[in-house]
Structure 1
Amino acid sequence: MISRGSEWHRWDPHIHAPGTILNNQFDGTHPWETYLTTLEGLTPKIEAIAVTDYYVTDTYEELLKHKAAGRLPCVQLLFPNIELRLDVAAKSGFVNIHLLVSPEDPNHLVEVKRILKRLQFGAHNDRFDCTREELIKLGKRADPTITDDGAALRHGATQVKVNFDQLRKVIAESEWAKKNILIAVAGGSGDGTSGLRQAADATVRQEIEKFAHIIFSSSPVQREFWLGQRAGMTVGELRSRYDGCKPCLHGSDSHDQESVGQPVGNRFSWIKGALEFDALRQACIDPEGRAYVGEQPPLSTLPSQVISHVRIDNADWAATPDIPLNSGLVAIIGARGSGKTALADMIAAGCDAISSSGWDADENISPSFLARARRLMGDATTTLTWGGGATVTRFLDGRDANGHMSFPRARYLSQQFVEELCSAKGVSDGLVDEIERVIFESHSQDDRQWTLDFAELRDQQTARFQQAREREAEAISDISDRIATELEKESLVATLTTQVAQKKKLVANYTADRAKLVVKGTEEQVARHTLLSEAAQNLKNKIQAFGNQRRTFVALQDEVRSMRATGAPEMLRQAQARHASSGFSAKQWDEFLLVYKGDVDKSLAGYIAWADGEVSKLTGAPPPSGDPNVALIPDNADLSALPLAPIAAEMIRLEALFSADKLVREQYTALTGRIAQENSALKTLEARLTDAQGATARRKDLQTNRDDTYGRVFEAIINEQNALAGLYAPLMARLAASSGTLQKLGFSVRRIADVQAWGSVAERELLDLRKTGPFQGRGALIRAAAETLKPAWETGSAAEVQAAMTTFMSKYLRDLLSHAPYAPTQQAEFRAWSKQFAHWLFGTDHITVRYEISYDGIDIRKLSPGTRGIVLLLLYLALDDSDDRPLIIDQPEENLDPKSVFDELVALFIATKAKRQVIMVTHNANLVINTDADQIIVATAGPHPPGGLPPISYVAGGLESVAIRKAVCDILEGGEEAFRERARRLRVRLDR
């Protein structure tokens, strides 16, 4: 026995045949021939028929004869539908109720007639049974003019009204009836329970509908009501008031040839299950999954994404080489070592779904059948036939696996794969990768913006903010260096003030010394020399300033050449790398090459020439030699308008007149030069002092700038956080709207401030914790930061972070500086340390943006391997909507307790099998029974021969098969209990 198990078939649960007792409009010379021909030609074909008649089974018995004679070859199941009229008035007539009788019992006709005999109707001071003979008597008693038995039968049937309470009692008292009869009631307003509109009839209506297993109705509204999908009537309320959900079915109710198998609006009945009566019982257990009314059965998996058949060739150990597969949930069960995983492995191999690591696994420890049996495979192959007609063949030893043109046509969650992803050693990258893949695929193709995976999409969404963060962090570093420089200048004000005073005193002393060298009678020349010396010093200062400018112009020329040759092209290359998806051509990118706005080459050459000209003008040409006693510069000449050369020449002439003593002249000249030198140094010191005196204001401006930049760093971090949250938004929205197990799964994006790491850097490398003070010893700084900074770092806005840092600095900066390892007087060491300190204080390397995955409020990194397995299954069963490939799972219940399986997984498998084919190896009865598996494949292995593989065979069918249900109970621990629990949970009154 091997079949695809539960598949959709068209049933007609309510169809009359020629000779039906009431309203028989099947006229013509050969009504049965026309009737049978019509049934045989229907599209879609009917494969199960409930032959309906009032109170009797005559037309059913007649149709059985035609079937035995070879008619209705497509119809695999015939069973009686006995229609009764209750003594409950409806809007038009009376409420009709139907007894659908299982034909499994060879004596079912005898037994159901015994049941009908117990239904009695009182009239004419007599009691009549619901049997053919009694109905004829009633017809003749009601109308003595009738002599024909057929006419009397018809008239008698119109008179009988079955008491509802009596019917309930008869069914309840018959063990055979409870096992073999399903009750259906019409749900329409004519002869159905909807016709009971009086308030007084509400209880009667509820009791009738509670008694019924099936509602005959094609109304979508009624179907939704009986499935608990309408507002005001939940599944729980249906269980409380009506003993559970009910399947809605609809027949053609044909009373004439034209309507045979043609219900109004093509509202056909579809039952999922084998063509046996037990499929109808299973539809009562799972009405949503197994019963449907519509022109076509419910759409589920795409045919091209369904494996419809597996064939194993060149394998003498494969006792069942051909195995058809259901398109829904396939459960592979069997004893240990029976060949369950073998079948899953072979299917996965045909799908190219086994990874290289799976093929290369150690045969001694691998749970994979193919890895353990690789050396025994020989030329064995597996051939898969897909629902769309395509076939694929692969060798079972992996020789042709994972070729460059192959891709996995199924998702295989082997035991090895799950163990690797959910290892007790911690969350592996593989699990995170799978989560990120699902997140990525939850976005529409448009939202992915040409990216190929999550990493690309994440980088695309966050790169600009990360770059902004890096730029601002670099700016903080530069600003901190400048602040350190200004602080150093501030500390030099007192020193420079002293040095300026000392330098002025030194110049005064040199000037006094020089005055002592003046020979009497030369005072006028000396005074003139002093004026010339001052004018010369001013000119030299100007010449030096122009020389400095010239050197700057030359350096700028070098920088321009370097920028053109290296800097700008490299910046362009970096921009191209950052924005590779721009689609710009080389010509378009050329527009982004940084060029100087003006003609800087011409300008710089002009500036150099100008500086040279100014120096030349200030230097001037020396005058020709003349009489040493004749002044080279008139006394009334404006010295500020003269160049340096004539002034210097005049100074030399005057120096020769000061004294006849050569030594005195040399001393005078030397002192003059020294005075000039010290005056130059004095001006430099005065400039530095002025600069240092302005350092405080500049430092404050820089600190404000640094604070603002620090805020912009956090703006970038917050923007990155928001961008990441946007990536998870579709999945998070879906989780928020979900119910049950999915609500336990959560994604969050948040900032993490590693205060421990941040503080440890300072305590370990920057502060001297041996010094007495607030931060003496380890941990004090970390505690202060955790209290003042951590909340803002992790949840605050940019402004709140700035405010927190300002508070921290105002409260602790002086104390932190007191723990510096160097004294401020150790200028070089303190200068280097202060820069490192500022870089640390305003650094943000300890701030990260991270997404976290939690299950039931616990971070996934802290979950047990079994619970991580649940998270993994949640991904594949509930969230991975974009993947419609078959899902092959080997023992998903591994490491899970039975309650977790039932609570967490059953509903997920039920929902998933409607969207993709699921092939599951399992030992768990709940995952077979309570998921209403569509096909159960039972694996059996024979004796294990030395040096070979044992024969492996398979049988398959659906839960509607008694033999399959017995195998489930025999093999799976708790199987019988699972069946009972399923019936109890659904409140089904079925014993089979």
Structure 2
Amino acid sequence: MIDEMIGAINDAAPAVYAIQDYWGFEGWFALKRRLSEGDGPRLEKTVFPGIELRLAAPIQGRLNAHVLFSDEIPDQHLRDFLSALKLEITGQPLSPHALIAYARAANADKLKTHSFEKAEVMADAETALRAGCIIAELNVDSYKAAVRAVPDGMALGFMPFETNDGLASVKHQEHYAYAIGLFDNSPIFETRKEGLWNAFVGRRCSENDSFFDAFQESIGGVPRLPVSGSDAHQFRGIAGDNNARGYGDFPSQRITWIKADPTWRGLQQAIKEPLKRCHIGLTPPKLQRISANKTFYIDSVSLSKVDGSSLAETWFDGCAIPFNADLVAIIGNKGSGKSALADVLALVGNSQEHAHFSFLKADRFRGKAGEPARQFHGRLDWLAGEPSLANLAANPAADRVELVRYVPQGRFEALCNEHVTGKSENFERELRSVIFSHIPAEDRLGALDFDQLIEAQESTLRARLDEARKNLVTLNRLIAGTEDQLHPSIRKNIEEQIHLKSVQLAELELTKPSELAAPAETLTPEQETAAAALSEISAAIAQLADEEKGIGESLTRLSAQRKAVRDVIERFALIREQITSAGAEIAGQLELLGLQLPDILTFEIKEEKVREVDSEAERNIAALAARNEAIKKERADYSGRIEQATEALNGPQRLYQDHLNAMKAWQSSVGEIQGAADVPDSKLGLETRLSQLDKLPGLLEERRAQRNELAAQIFHVLTLQRDQRSKLFEPLQKVISENSLIRDEYRLQFRSHLAAYHDLVSEKLFSLVKQSIGELRGEDDSRAAIKVRVEAHDLDSGVGALALSNDLHKLLHDAARQRAPDQADLNGLMRKDRTPTEVYDFIYGFEYLEPKYTLLFQDTPIEQLSPGQRGALLLIFYLLVDKKRNPIILDQPEENLDNETIVSLLVPVLNAAKENRQIIMVTHNPNLAVVCDAEQIIFAEFDRKALCNITYLAGSIENPALNQAVVNVLEGTKPAFDNRGNKYL
């Protein structure tokens, strides 16, 4: 029979069993005897001795109680335990004799209730013993005392709760002391209800929400280990028959899972933290995840020398370490090989973080020519899939798929600092990747990553942004040109020219021909004819001059028309190109809608109308040019006729005619200098230009105001980009809101905002302007001036962004004034081949502003957190938000954090994260390895004297050797730990 029992135990699924005999340990003793016999079968599972008892209780029915014992307990301790139990009525120690006496002392009605006749009980000792076993009850105080009296913690009280004959039958309020006494004495309770077993471990859920607080008060806030036993009454069950359960059969599939070594120490460890270590049900969620994602879990790592290696030192050779699928803590003294193992796992797992390796680097294990790392290769075996292999001297190629995520301490600091300063977008890319992973497939617009999605989503906004910035470039050219015209040298030059024209006119005034009266003598008929001819010729020449002036004005107007025609046609061509380009960009969307561009857009330019105007202007120009040539011929003809007519006059008349010609020549000279408003080099033209300069400051202000309006339009488009990107992380924010730990404790939020990094602003700006005067003197002072201005404004608002642009402009303007106080432009500050227009395009086009993603931790942006807090925030991000399932390897995540923060922040994060992925962590902190209840401890040791031998001991925290290592390494030995504990009040 015992052999049959051993065979059933070995064949069944459970790893640990308890033999629960009534009132004694006969079954356990029989098992031990058989196992000690040479021909006995081998027991492959763990079996604990146990006992089932019945307690006197203030209830109508029965109250059962169980006790579990260590499988290493001496037999005498079990006998002593039985002797310590007292029967309730008789007060006798528990024994077969006492049970017989108990039955014979019972009245007939009591015996008859249990199908016994008083006479038979009195006459037959065996019948009396059976009756005593059924009706006897123990004194509850003796039960509790007997459990406590078992030495070395080798006994554990175990009470049924709502199952048959359980403690739930006792009315707690009426019999408070009785119930609480058994609660305090029982670290293990049997229960099968979802709400109850969760309440025992301290987990609130919908099934226990109504009674959770009261229940916790009744158990004193101390979690208990809930179990659901098979209650098998035969070795092998009958399939489908719940009443014929055998070993490994559980009622209603309420299977007990305990995460611990299958040892007495393992059970004791589970009792300490049942929330993390037990589950009742078909399969624990973590095991379901592992089963469905085996390729994401490391099963083991092995290291060995390459074939033919002549290296004498041992190092890793022969190391083979199995890995738990939950939380693995790698511990060891300084220089023992902890980070070496983390680097190896990262390397063989194709991590691209090799720049942050602390052991596999040139000045350590990868010395000259990569030695001695070149002598070793590593292998990762996964729960499923092909193994990963790598030589320890060779980094994985950049195109290899990362099978693990490695987050060494240097990675934390670099990623955070680069994000805060804007030197790198690595963290931004991490955020984008996680955000994209949470976006539903139907909302991804066919994109394969975040950048493709942004490309598809923001194409229209980018087109609007490009167009607005083009308009800004045009306006900035006008502003820069206006500032150039306000240069003092230009006004001074015009004023000097006007003065020169005035001097020239004064000089001409001195040369004005003297007045000469017309001759008074009577003219001969021939002279009268000549004089009349001269008068007609003079009038005709004056008319020709007027006509010539009109032709000049017409030619100017017609040339302007032809220039306008060319401009209009060029703009039409640009419009055509833009429409063609836009059509190509939206072709995919139109195809999705079942439409083509002509279905929704009709575009026509009647260019012939413009060309008709151009042709007419061309004809008129030709005609006017021909007329100009004719006028020249007519003037030449008139000149010959003047000479002929003048010859016919007498001396006084010729003299008077010369006077008239001289006066006309003088008037022409005066008119040429005096000029007109539209003649640029004339006195009137220069005065008009001077008048225009007087209006330029007002015009400049108008154009700057227009620029502010255009900058506001550009900013508005940027806010639309920001808001669209904010919508992208709504699915992720929803996930966060559903996680109470992230939502309530850490208040982790994603934020899309418009950001500018002062270093990037400085870098671009100082590539355009010199750093040689005022606040812009020298590298440090110049960058400080930019930094204080960037940080002084809220760049997520239009008012703040425009204020920064104007502030930067004023900074540059003031620096330029120090160089040249009377100048309005920035030319004096510009570097070679750079123009003020480029500066204006940069600061008013908001080229330095871009929608960025960042994280807020407890309502504080990452930029304002301490280095330690930033690292903690990244851990929260990687562990709780990132949807990737591959193992994550952490190297000293506690760096820069105080112990209080570690316990309040990192411990809950790691406990939550290990439910979803494998975590391997190098740590020096007991709060992470012990308080997190790491499922596996790997203890690293390095023996330099023994040929540089590195060894790793792996196992659970309850493993005696590893438990001792944890105490020595992380706590500084047990005496040191106790010393600290004794000093705390």
Shift in Å, 1:523: 8.1
Separation (CA, whole Å) in 1 of partners of 2:356 and 2:762: 40
Deviations 1:373-429 (A, max 9, x none): 95346754333221014223333443xx52577433223345776686689x99898
Deviations 1:169-219 (A, max 9, x none): 4434x252x701222222217533333457424564444334321221122
* Alpha-carbon contact 2:534-2:642 (below 8 Å) kept: yes
Going from structure 1 to structure 2, the CA distance change for 1:704 and 1:268 (only over 3 Å counts) comes to: same
- More deviation, 194-203/524-533: 524-533
Which structure 2 residues correspond to residues 810-825 of structure 1 after superposition, within 5 A? 821=820, 823=822
Going from structure 1 to structure 2, the CA distance change for 1:768 and 1:512 (only over 3 Å counts) comes to: farther
* Alpha-carbon contact 1:925-1:974 (below 8 Å) kept: no
* Alpha-carbon contact 2:85-2:94 (below 8 Å) kept: yes
Separation (CA, whole Å) in 2 of partners of 1:347 and 1:786: 42
Which structure 2 residues correspond to residues 577-976 of structure 1 after superposition, within 5 A? 598=605, 603-604=610-611, 607-608=614-615, 610-613=617-620, 615-616=622-623, 620=627, 657=645, 660=649, 661=654, 663=658, 667=662, 670=665, 681=676, 684=679, 689=688, 692=692, 702=703, 704-719=705-720, 722=723, 738=742, 742-743=746-747, 749=753, 751=755, 793-794=793-794, 797-798=797-798, 821=820, 823=822, 839=840, 843=844, 848=849, 869-879=871-881, 881-893=882-894, 898-899=899-900, 901-942=902-943, 944=945, 949-974=947-972, 976=974
What residue in structure 1 maps to residue 72 of structure 2? 104
SS in 2 for 1:920: strand
SS in 2 for 1:145: helix
What residue in structure 1 maps to residue 224 of structure 2? 246
Separation (CA, whole Å) in 1 of partners of 2:450 and 2:540: 79
Please, which of 30, 35, 53 is the counterpart of residue 84 of structure 1?
A: 53
Going from structure 1 to structure 2, the CA distance change for 1:600 and 1:806 (only over 3 Å counts) comes to: same
Matched, 1:536 2:539: no
SS in 2 for 1:115: helix
Deviations 1:464-518 (A, max 9, x none): 46646744642541352466589799999x9899999989999999999699697
What residue in structure 2 maps to residue 185 of structure 1? 159
Please, which of 98, 104, 128 is the counterpart of residue 140 of structure 1?
A: 104
Q: Which has the higher contact order (CA 8 A, sep 6+)?
A: 1
Which structure 2 residues correspond to residues 226-265 of structure 1 after superposition, within 5 A? 226-230=200-204, 231=209, 238=216, 241-255=219-233, 258-260=244-246, 261-265=248-252
What residue in structure 2 maps to residue 631 of structure 1? none
Separation (CA, whole Å) in 2 of partners of 1:361 and 1:656: 113
Shift in Å, 1:326: 1.6
Shift in Å, 1:878: 3.8
Q: How many positions carry a matched residue from both structures?
A: 906
What residue in structure 2 maps to residue 309 of structure 1? 300
Separation (CA, whole Å) in 2 of partners of 1:742 and 1:40: 48
Q: Given residue 322 of structure 2, which amino acid in structure 1 is its aligned partner?
A: P
Q: Given residue 115 of structure 1, which amino acid in structure 2 is its aligned partner?
A: F
Please, which of 8, 11, 19 is the counterpart of residue 51 of structure 1?
A: 19
What TM-score results when the alignment is normalised by the length of structure 2? Answer: 0.72
Shift in Å, 1:914: 2.2
Separation (CA, whole Å) in 2 of partners of 1:468 and 1:727: 25
SS in 2 for 1:275: coil
Matched, 1:272 2:254: no
Deviations 1:713-752 (A, max 9, x none): 4334544554665677677777786168845898684555
Separation (CA, whole Å) in 1 of partners of 2:19 and 2:473: 86
Separation (CA, whole Å) in 2 of partners of 1:189 and 1:97: 12
Separation (CA, whole Å) in 2 of partners of 1:696 and 1:417: 54
Deviations 1:907-957 (A, max 9, x none): 333223222222333343333222222222334444635xxx434444332
Going from structure 1 to structure 2, the CA distance change for 1:89 and 1:893 (only over 3 Å counts) comes to: same
What residue in structure 1 maps to residue 109 of structure 2? none
Separation (CA, whole Å) in 2 of partners of 1:768 and 1:319: 65
Separation (CA, whole Å) in 1 of partners of 2:214 and 2:260: 26
Matched, 1:118 2:119: no
Deviations 1:20-67 (A, max 9, x none): xxxxxxxxxx8x89877766665xx12211222333233444455677
Separation (CA, whole Å) in 2 of partners of 1:982 and 1:154: 56
Deviations 1:518-543 (A, max 9, x none): 77768876775676456434433442
Separation (CA, whole Å) in 1 of partners of 2:81 and 2:18: 18
SS in 2 for 1:442: helix
Unaligned runs of 5+ in 2: 107-117, 238-243, 307-311, 521-527, 776-781
Going from structure 1 to structure 2, the CA distance change for 1:942 and 1:122 (only over 3 Å counts) comes to: same
Counting aligned pairs with the same residue, the percent is 20
SS in 1 for 2:371: helix
Q: Given residue 308 of structure 1, which amino acid in structure 2 is its aligned partner?
A: D
SS in 2 for 1:127: coil
* Alpha-carbon contact 1:712-1:798 (below 8 Å) kept: no
Q: Given residue 255 of structure 2, which amino acid in structure 1 is its aligned partner?
A: F
* Alpha-carbon contact 2:892-2:922 (below 8 Å) kept: yes
Matched, 1:381 2:377: yes
Going from structure 1 to structure 2, the CA distance change for 1:166 and 1:940 (only over 3 Å counts) comes to: same
Shift in Å, 1:450: 6.9
Shift in Å, 1:250: 0.6
Please, which of 175, 190, 194 is the counterpart of residue 216 of structure 1?
A: 190
Which structure 2 residues correspond to residues 238-637 of structure 1 after superposition, within 5 A? 238=216, 241-255=219-233, 258-260=244-246, 261-299=248-286, 300-301=289-290, 302-314=293-305, 317=314, 320-353=318-351, 357=355, 365-366=363-364, 368=365, 375-376=371-372, 380-398=376-394, 401-403=395-397, 406-414=400-408, 433-434=426-427, 436-443=429-436, 444=438, 446=441, 464=461, 467=466, 470-471=469-470, 473-481=472-480, 484=483, 532=540, 535-549=543-557, 551-552=559-560, 598=605, 603-604=610-611, 607-608=614-615, 610-613=617-620, 615-616=622-623, 620=627
State the Cα RMSD in Å. Answer: 6.4
Q: Given residue 74 of structure 2, which amino acid in structure 1 is its aligned partner?
A: P
Going from structure 1 to structure 2, the CA distance change for 1:312 and 1:206 (only over 3 Å counts) comes to: same
Unaligned runs of 5+ in 1: 1-29, 624-642, 771-780, 985-992
SS in 1 for 2:915: coil
SS in 1 for 2:794: helix
- More deviation, 544-553/680-689: 680-689
Separation (CA, whole Å) in 2 of partners of 1:228 and 1:57: 34
Separation (CA, whole Å) in 1 of partners of 2:716 and 2:300: 58
SS in 1 for 2:556: helix
Matched, 1:154 2:130: yes
Separation (CA, whole Å) in 2 of partners of 1:378 and 1:483: 69
* Alpha-carbon contact 2:826-2:836 (below 8 Å) kept: no
* Alpha-carbon contact 1:557-1:601 (below 8 Å) kept: no
* Alpha-carbon contact 2:58-2:175 (below 8 Å) kept: no
SS in 2 for 1:794: coil
